[in-house]
Amino acid sequence: MTAGTITPDRSGLEAGRDGFAQLLRAEWTKFRTVRGWVIGTAVAALVTVLIGPLTASGSHCSANGQTCHPSVPVGPDGEAVTDSFYFVHQPLAGNGSITVRVTSLTGLLPTPPAGRSAPVGTRPGLVPWAKAGIIIKDGTRQGSAYAAVLVTGGHGVRMQYDYTHDKAGLAGGVSAASPRWLRLTRSGDTLTGEESADGTHWTTVGTAHLAGLPATVQAGLFAASPGYSQITQQHFGGETGTGGPTQATAAFDQVSLQGTWPSGAWRAEAVGASGAGDSSLDGFKQTGGTFAVSGSGDIAPEVVGSAGAGPGQPIERTLAGAFAGLIAVIVAATMFITAEYRRGLIRTTLAASPRRGRVLVAKAIVIGSVAFVAGLAAAAVALPLDTRILRANGNLLLPVGSLTELRVIVGTAALLAVAAVLALAVGAVLRRSAAAVTAGIVAIVLPYILATAYVLPTGLSQWLLRLTPAAAFAIQQSIPQYPQVSNDYTPVFGYYPLAPWAGFAVLCAYATLALGLAVVRLRRRDA
């Protein structure tokens, strides 16, 4: 018989498709038809939304002697700022510049208090970020755009603008023997800060582009000094603080103005004087060509923690419910694979689709997408809703730019999605639900608890939040760490050692590693 005469027996049925789309569809069908998994995911979304308002409505601003001030100045980018300082200014029409020489910067600190009582006296001294210099600002409204060149108590000459930007200039303090010359030039929307040690050789410290600066701005001399504080955070949130207002006094001379200065006279004003600080000491004195300006307060982004002016909270506090959602997602994602082993369905699954790695990837895509959508819906409802409830209760929630808010919401959803993939992979490796669920929860949630609500020293907490999957919660941090604001940037106050997306990448790395391990194990072992 020759080969040509054989007619192979062919089934009349059309061959089933075995594409990846088909696999995805199969997994999606499995997911949506198991009531427990759908309920689990719905529970995850629901608790994320519901727990928020519960904690939110329990958070009334306690007004025992303290006044609640649920508003905070908002900077040009939508972020919360501190904007109170002593301002000696006059209008500048159009382009122009101001040049001064700073010959001294001195200040007053509160005396160290005996016990926990408020400080009574003062002693000479400067906080590192006491600042004085020249500023060009869009009016005297708190939170308006500005650019400034300034000398500081301990960080040399700086050029700062729009609250969050800070560029370093010449280091070292200022004295009569070693004065600093400062110049700020406006040209359209561009402001250039320059410094000099002798008034002849100038170097540029920085350049700011302040879009939408009006034709006439307020320009002049200023002084500010942020509050001195030493706060000890107690276990689980309580805190005892010692500290108080400080003051900085700068002496200026050689003031020279270029351009059109229509009023020709200086006006002195304490911007945002309602802020903390004994503003009765602030003031301005002119003797001939010499100006002495004293001020307290700060021109800087508002932060959470000891330096914060009030009981400010970051917006991610409203997403505490996401932890409950996370646990529900981990349970559902683990069962998405362990239930197959328990029921023996895995053998059918692998018989239908023998390429095992693809099965696991399809499962990861399905459970990850489901968790992302559920998390996105939950976070997008919870954050605005709880923010509103908290603010209605007189709490101060620090506003952030809309891009940051978006990152917090989408990041929470992405965190749930990647956590679901990690839980699925751990479930595939361990095959046992109880052990896999525990591993998932312990790996992600326990380090967070140990780092933020426990007695661990700060350094150890920070390492936990670098190395464990809990690093991913950095993606919820809405207020960054600003080097130009002295503060306790510790996990207890919600500051993560890694940048938001870097922290998230740590979780992604764990998930990828676990998924890879799961694929290898699934291929090598009998199902």
Partner 1 sequence: MRQALHAEWTKLRTTPGPGWLLVAAIALTVALSAMVVAAVHYPFAGPDQVLDLTKLSLTGIQLGQALVAILAVLVISNEYHTGMIRTTLTAIPRRPTVLAAKAAIVSGVVLAAGAIAALGCLLVGRLIPPGHGFTTAHGYSALSLTDGPTLRAVAGSALYLALIALLSLGAATAVRDSATAIGVVLGLLYLFPILTQAVTNPHWQRHLQQLAPMTAGLAIQATTNPSNLPISPWAGLGVLAAWATAALLAGGLLLHLRDA
Given the rule CB under 8 A, which residues bind partner 1? Answer: 36, 51-52, 54-55, 58-62, 232-238, 311, 313, 317-318, 320, 323-324, 327-328, 330-331, 334-335, 338, 342, 395, 432-438, 441-442, 445-446, 448-450, 452-460, 463, 490, 492
370 CB-near residues (< 8 Å, 6+ apart):
31, 41, 420
Choose between 147 and 397: whose C-beta lies nearer to partner 1.
397
Question: Least separation, in Å, of the C-beta of 391 and partner 1?
Answer: 12
Place of tokens 């349970």: 331
CB closer to partner 1, 172 vs 459: 459
Least separation in angstroms between residue 168's CB and partner 1 is: 25
SS3 content of the chain, % helix, strand, coil (to 5): 40, 25, 35
Q: Which of 295, 406, 395, 513 is nearest to 57 (CA)?
A: 395
> Tokens in use for 116?
């926990």
Coil, helix or strand at residue 63: coil
Question: Could you give the angle at the alpha carbon of 486 between the alpha carbons of 480 and 490, nearest 5°?
Answer: 55
Q: State which amino acid sits at residue 8.
A: P
- For partner 1, which is the closer residue by CB, 292 or 436? 436
β 312-313/396-397 pair status: parallel
- In the complex, the smallest distance separating the C-beta of residue 497 from partner 1, rounded to whole angstroms, is 14
Element (H, E) at 31: helix 20-33
C-alpha span between 68 and 394 (Å, rounded): 6
Measured CA to CA, the distance from residue 23 to residue 30 in angstroms comes to 11
Q: At its nearest, how many Å lie between partner 1 and the CB of residue 332?
A: 9
| Closest CB to partner 1 among residues 370, 450 | 450
Of 220 and 325, the one with the shorter C-beta distance to partner 1 is 325
Burial code of 165-189, b = ≥16 C-beta within 10 A, e = fewer? ebbebbeeebeeeebbbbbbbbeee
Return the SS3 of 305: coil
Q: Which one, 266 or 454, has the nearer CB to partner 1?
A: 454
The minimum distance between CB 364 and partner 1, in angstroms, equals 18
- Closest approach, Cβ 444 to partner 1, in A, equals 10
Q: Which is nearer to partner 1, 369 or 438 (CB)?
A: 438
Backbone dihedral angles phi then psi of residue 444, each to the nearest 5 degrees: -95, -45
Minimum Å distance from CB 340 to partner 1?
13
Q: Which is nearer to partner 1, 187 or 234 (CB)?
A: 234
Element holding 186 (H helix, E strand): strand 180-187
Task: Give 168's strand partners.
Answer: 158
Cβ of residue 437: shortest distance to partner 1, in angstroms? 5
